[in-house]
Structure 1
Amino acid sequence: MDVVSLDRFAPCVGEGFDLDMGTGSLALTLAEASPLPAHNLSRARRSPFSLLFRSGSPIVLPQRIYRLKHARLGSIEVFLVPVARDRSGILYQAIYN
């Protein structure tokens, strides 16, 4: 994937991603892909956006770069930050600006 963009991820909302844990994988679902406000970024290569992934696991992973795999998008490295916990699991956010 050359320049990661919202247009590439938006069709994948609701679909599964595998987070490579080294010794196995953790299933994530892309819960949301939304644009962020562009603050005077006329020379930016892309418009800023946010991705929210949901994990059904009760274990909170630390923020860091993870390799995610998706059936259509292939493999991509993403910096994920745990941002919330609810009855359905943990939410992780990736921000591209």
Structure 2
Amino acid sequence: MTMETPAALTLADFADFEGARFSMQLEGGSLELVLEQVEPLRLSARPGSSFRLAFRGPREPLYPQGTYLLENTALAVEIFLVPIAQDDAGTVYEAIFN
């Protein structure tokens, strides 16, 4: 597993992980998130380096915005996540790289 720093990450690093499960590491445990969307930010001056990730987790508990370690079998990265929506299917957490 490779630990990446957010400054080094690009859209290509996540493109193959759309639909993949990630473990969000928490004090005393973890929470499973699914990477639902990987999309470029079109108005960026840095093609490939500006992008948006949307992760879906359970509706409860709701975690506040903050930096969390996300891991799967091929990638481990600390990402600043913001909860942006809740519905019957769960909570959506967003990360913007710009």
Same fold (TM over 0.5): yes
Deviations 1:3-38 (A, max 9, x none): 101111011011100000120000000000000023
Greater relative CO (CA pairs within 8 A, separation 6+):
2
Gaps of 5+ in 2: none
- 1:68 alignment partner, one of 63, 70, 95: 70
- 2:42 alignment partner, one of 37, 56, 68: 37
Letter of the 1:81 counterpart: V
For residues 35 and 58 of structure 1, the distance between their equivalents in structure 2, rounded to whole angstroms, comes to 29
Deviations 1:40-80 (A, max 9, x none): x2xx485310000000242210000001111111x210000
Q: Does 2:9 align with 1:9?
A: no
Q: Determine the structure 2 residue equivalent to 1:25.
A: 30
Indicate conservation of the 8 Å contact 1:85/1:91, yes or no: yes
Q: TM-score, normalised by structure 1?
A: 0.87
Percent identity, aligned pairs only, is 37
Question: Number of residues paired by the alignment?
Answer: 93
Q: TM-score, normalised by structure 2?
A: 0.87
Deviates more, 1:15-24 or 1:53-62: 53-62
For residues 67 and 94 of structure 1, the distance between their equivalents in structure 2, rounded to whole angstroms, comes to 13
Gaps of 5+ in 1: none
Q: Which runs of 4+ in 1 moved over 4 A?
A: none
